Amino acid sequence: MKKLTILGSTGSIGTSTLDIVAAHPDRFTVEALTAGANLDLFAKQIARFSPRLAVVLNEELAGRLKSMLPSGSGTEIMSGVDGLVAAATLTETDMVVAAIVGAAGLVPTAAAIKAGKDIALANKETLVTAGHLFMELIKRHNVRLYPVDSEHSAIFQSIEGHRNADISRIILTASGGPFLNTPVESLRSVTVGDALNHPNWSMGRKITIDSASMMNKGLEVIEASWLFDLPLDRIDVNIHPQSIIHSMVEYIDGCVIAQLGTPDMKAPIAYALSYPERIPTGVKPLDLTQLSGLTFAKPDLERFPCLSLAYRSMSDGESMPAVMNAANEIAVEAFLEGKIGFSHIPELIEMTMDSHQPVALGSISDVLEVDLWSRRCSREFCMKMGNKY
């Protein structure tokens, strides 16, 4: 029986994780759940899974949640970062599913590693902002890190039993999102609804916008570089609109090993939870005879400047990926709130990056400081941009 803490249980990854837990009560139990502000769903999850501990964003929400639970509920309620850390480090927990969105996942994920918990990592922003610190923590505390992102799970599955030295490159696939064929000049006028309309994947709002701008692929390139210890020049991106091949590894002998499947996050989540075994997920089996074709192309960097910005942030190094990540979070939030247009997202990120001189990050507090600076800086640019928009 594997005992889980799920950080971000009310999100897209969190709810899919709970579906898997519910389908395998003989394998998994839930010790702690955390949410942001979606109390209605969270109260239902608490009633269904009876965790020891449940955590919400702040004290006010904690008070409201308590009043929604039946008297005599055995679940302790906490809030804020202290609550997240308590959930991540709970003595009974074996594995922490890190599925909070954004840099908010940094502190609890680091705390979980320090407490010796294995990690199923969905929250790619932790590796983007502080990859060197996280990989060092993982080694020092001897914990296992299992990728949840479908591309990284595909690489993880295609790499097993092979030597890192035998890899010539990895190829991350990208669907290209809803704007793959939209004329570049029309990207200025696309709406939030257009951007949220992803052709293949159903995901949270932030990652869906990141997929439309291809910042998601940029974040994944950085994540892959840390996870698989590969330099950027050995990580390529191919546009593959069908999302059937989830990524591939090319070896020095010319062989390529790929992982295929129906696009459904339950498969990589289940593999992270049950590794090295495989368990039924309910994911629709792939019928290759029903596919009309699998196509591949190089990404168009004029259409998707966010991808170049991600590569640039890694070559600039040190604090630049954290600055880029925070600026992207502000830009996406501003776009979702209708304050800026879609094409302003890369502009805002680039202006923030141009205003920053990379500095070495020696601790998670250093990362959080740079993250705050970037948020302040990009909010200022955003206000100026918003006035013009």
Ligand X SMILES: NC(=O)c1ccc[n+]([C@@H]2O[C@H](COP(=O)([O-])OP(=O)(O)OC[C@H]3O[C@@H](n4cnc5c(N)ncnc54)[C@H](OP(=O)(O)O)[C@@H]3O)[C@@H](O)[C@H]2O)c1
Which is nearer to ligand X, 43 or 248 (by Cβ)?
A: 43
Give least dist CB 57 to ligand X, A.
5
CA dist., res. 61 & res. 131, Å (int)? 32
Count of helices and strands (H, E) across the chain? 15, 11
CA dist., res. 363 & res. 12, Å (int)? 30
Sites of contact with ligand X (CB under 6 A)? 8-14, 35-38, 57, 99-101, 104, 122-125, 149, 201, 203-207, 265
Give least dist CB 240 to ligand X, A.
16
CA dist., res. 207 & res. 130, Å (int)? 19
Q: Residues 320, 326, 329, 335: is their CA dihedral positive or negative?
A: negative
E strand or H helix that includes residue 235: strand 235-239
Q: Tokens at residue 132, please? A: 């060197």
Which is nearer to ligand X, 45 or 385 (by Cβ)?
A: 45
CA dist., res. 23 & res. 365, Å (int)? 39
Which is nearer to ligand X, 283 or 359 (by Cβ)?
A: 283
Which is nearer to ligand X, 168 or 365 (by Cβ)?
A: 365
Which is nearer to ligand X, 269 or 314 (by Cβ)?
A: 269
Give least dist CB 225 to ligand X, A.
16
Give least dist CB 375 to ligand X, A.
12
Dihedral pair phi/psi, residue 76, rounded to 5°: -80, 140
Residue nearest to ligand X (CB): 11
Q: Tokens at residue 273, please? A: 């939870």
Instruction: Check if the beta carbon of residue 96 is closer than 8 Å to that of residue 120.
Output: yes
Give least dist CB 308 to ligand X, A.
20
Which is nearer to ligand X, 106 or 143 (by Cβ)?
A: 106
Give least dist CB 274 to ligand X, A.
18
Which is nearer to ligand X, 265 or 314 (by Cβ)?
A: 265
Whether omega for the bond prior to residue 276 falls within 30 degrees of 0, making it cis, is yes
Which is nearer to ligand X, 103 or 248 (by Cβ)?
A: 103
CA dist., res. 342 & res. 306, Å (int)? 11
Angle subtended at Cα 125 by Cα 121 and Cα 131, rounded to the nearest 5 degrees: 80
Give least dist CB 14 to ligand X, A.
5
CA dist., res. 203 & res. 209, Å (int)? 10
The burial of 196, by beta-carbon neighbours within 10 Å (0-12 exposed, 13-18 middle, 19 or more buried), is given as: middle
Give least dist CB 210 to ligand X, A.
7
Which is nearer to ligand X, 129 or 385 (by Cβ)?
A: 129
Q: Residues 74, 77, 82, 84: is their CA dihedral positive or negative?
A: positive
Give least dist CB 171 to ligand X, A.
18
DSSP 3-state assignment of 295? Answer: coil
- The upper half-sphere exposure of residue 331, i.e. CA atoms within 13 Å in the direction of its Cβ, equals 29
